[in-house]
Structure 1
Amino acid sequence: MDAAQGLPDGATSPATGRAAGRDITADVIRSVAAMAKLSPQEISGGTRFRQDLDFDSTNILELLMRLEVEFDIEFDPDTFGTGTFETVDGLSAYVRESLDG
């Protein structure tokens, strides 16, 4: 039990959401690096999936499925806007919103 917040270990306060205290961008970078067979240090928030990593739609779909499992979220294709997943930062923001949503 987390005595400071009165919550069971691992639980989050509804006000802070599941993303609180978690470096979402670093977690996304690790997943992207693993898929691209690069070190996480070679990926930044501004890294573009198509232009910098040569990811095609299949690679992006595979990455989204990996992140769904890692973060226990579900991506809704109807909410994808143009450029939502153009960069690592864009994808990280989407994951953060899904966790806090």
Structure 2
Amino acid sequence: MDGAKVLAEETPEQAAGRDVTREVIRSVAAMTRRPPEGITEGTRFHQDLDFDSTNVLELLMRLEADLDIEFDPDTFGAGAFETVGSLSAHVRRICGA
């Protein structure tokens, strides 16, 4: 019952943030052929998923297509997205969510 109350009190920004994170996780899972349940906001691209710069670029391109957004390469440098959560936060800023 408390869980239903928490969901009902969620702000639109929180709900949108969860959707973005879910979409990022779904894309990462598809790329790595891992179950989405095993990927969290704390999952690190390089250490946990063995991503290299090419994998990160592929993920960004996938997210651009899936979410109809565009990443500005001047807004982030090497290592800017260390975790799924940091990438999700950046995508939310782009989307205005």
Q: TM-score category by the smaller chain?
A: 0.7 to 0.9
Structure 2: state its 5+ residue gaps.
1-11
Matched with 2:35 is: 39
Identity among equivalent positions (%) equals 67
Which of 70, 74, 77 is the equivalent residue of 2:66?
A: 70
Larger radius of gyration: 1
1:58-101 deviation line (CA, Å, top 9, x unaligned): 00000000000011111111100454310000000000000007
Please give the root-mean-square deviation of Cα atoms over the aligned residues, in Å. 2.1
Question: How does the TM-score come out when normalised to structure 2?
Answer: 0.78
Instruction: Say which structure is richer in helix.
Output: 2
Question: How does the TM-score come out when normalised to structure 1?
Answer: 0.76
Structure 1: state its 5+ residue gaps.
1-15
**2:54 paired with 1:30:** no
Greater RCO structure (CA 8 Å; 6+ sep): 2
